[in-house]
Amino acid sequence: MQFRGPGPFFIILTLLSAHAVCQSLKPGLEGMAPSKWLTFRHTHAPGKTYRFNGTDTKRFTQEEYFMRVWVPLVHNKKMAVLLGPNYRTEQLEFKSTGENPVSHMEGWNLRTFALDLNSVVKLDSSSWLIFTSHINKSGDFGRLFWSEIPINYTLSASFLRRKSANKEVGFGVMMNKSFRVTVLPVLIFNYNFSENSGLEMMLPKKIAFRKNLSPSDIIYLKSEAVSRTYYLHQFNSDALGVCRRVDIDLGMSYNRKLGNYAGVELFAGYRQNVSNRLIEGAVPVQTSGFAGTIELYVQPPKFKRRK
């Protein structure tokens, strides 16, 4: 998640990646959602507005598509190494007509090309070491060459221990190199209150209360950080600029397993904006509002080890 710099944003990817790797080697508590091998996600966030000094307010909708796949490089009783290429595209769909000082914003070709390389080492039956790495290039690829967009990367190391059948605790540290070097702590806490309810916490990414309606149906009441950063040309200039935002999604999600191989997850709630920067000279007016997501996923294939 990014506040003053992009560093915290990459914790989000780091923690999500770590979670995916962990479940492949059997950490995780009973009742938690399955791992996601292939992910396809669409997010719709309407009602955002901005203005320039002396102009009318303009309204737009954020539309985002995300795809990721995990490729196992090593998978045995003691270690798993996964490679996770992923791709994101975002469009600002304008709903207003009339004078628009930055009409070219609607033509932004906002893309993120990223690669994760993560591993988990099993120390014993109840503890693991998790190592993650993430690199990406993110920006307006319609107007910038690949070489013009800087590379950002993040490295992290965490220790996860299962205290009991109903409690897991993890902690670690991450380092991000983008605009500057950022070092931050990582905290993971999973706890089952009963056979069909629990708490899942991955700070600073997410806090979620889980209710298992059945072995295939889960409802979450959650708060989750969402951050995006894109490099682009500044308004009326070829100088490199940054478009970025930080949001907190507050709402409810529903996860439904479709057999043993696939699933769907739906989210609806309120997207509370924390920080918003569109382009130099643009003043955000309405930055919070409804957000909805639909996600289709394929569960990891079963690995059969030779005897």
pTM: 0.82
**pLDDT greater than 90 at residue 190:** yes
- Asked whether the beta carbons of 60 and 92 are under 8 A apart, the reply is yes
Residue 29, in any domain of the structure: yes
Give residue-wise pLDDT tens across range 11-58. 333 344 444 444 445 678 888 988 888 999 999 999 888 877 767 787
Of 113, 22, 121, 100, nearest to 57 by C-alpha is: 100
Q: Which contacts (CB < 8 Å, 24+ apart) does range 177-182 have?
A: 177/152, 177/153, 178/5, 178/6, 178/7, 178/10, 178/150, 178/152, 178/153, 179/5, 179/6, 180/5, 180/7, 182/5, 182/7, 182/8
Its domain, for residue 67, covers 7-298
Better-predicted residue by pLDDT, 301 or 265:
265
Residue 303, in any domain of the structure: no
Residue 2, in any domain of the structure: no
Mean pLDDT of the chain: 82
What are the distances in angstroms from CA 81 to CA 37, 62, 70, 122, 284? 13, 34, 10, 12, 42
* Tokens standing for residue 179: 């605009």
The pLDDT of 117-146, averaged and rounded, is: 89
- CATH code for the domain of 193: 2.40.160.40
Residue 304, in any domain of the structure: no
Better-predicted residue by pLDDT, 182 or 74:
74
The pLDDT of 233-250, averaged and rounded, is: 82
Residue 214, in any domain of the structure: yes
At 59 the pLDDT is 82
Residue 307, in any domain of the structure: no
Residue 176, in any domain of the structure: yes
Confidence of residue 241 (pLDDT cuts 50, 70, 90): confident
- Taking the C-alpha atoms of residue 208 and residue 198, their distance in angstroms, rounded to an integer, is 8
User: 199: burial class by Cβ within 10 Å (0-12, 13-18, 19+)?
Assistant: middle
At 103 the pLDDT is 56
- Asked whether the beta carbons of 207 and 223 are under 8 A apart, the reply is yes
- Taking the C-alpha atoms of residue 211 and residue 32, their distance in angstroms, rounded to an integer, is 10
Start-to-end CA distance of the chain, whole Å, equals 44
Confidence of residue 202 (pLDDT cuts 50, 70, 90): confident
Domain count, the chain: 1
Residue 123, in any domain of the structure: yes
What are the distances in angstroms from CA 127 to CA 27, 69, 159, 173? 8, 26, 7, 17
Confidence of residue 96 (pLDDT cuts 50, 70, 90): low
At 302 the pLDDT is 63
- Taking the C-alpha atoms of residue 204 and residue 11, their distance in angstroms, rounded to an integer, is 7
Q: Check residue 282 and report its DSSP letter.
A: -
Helix (H) or strand (E) holding 7: helix 7-24
* Tokens standing for residue 277: 């920067």
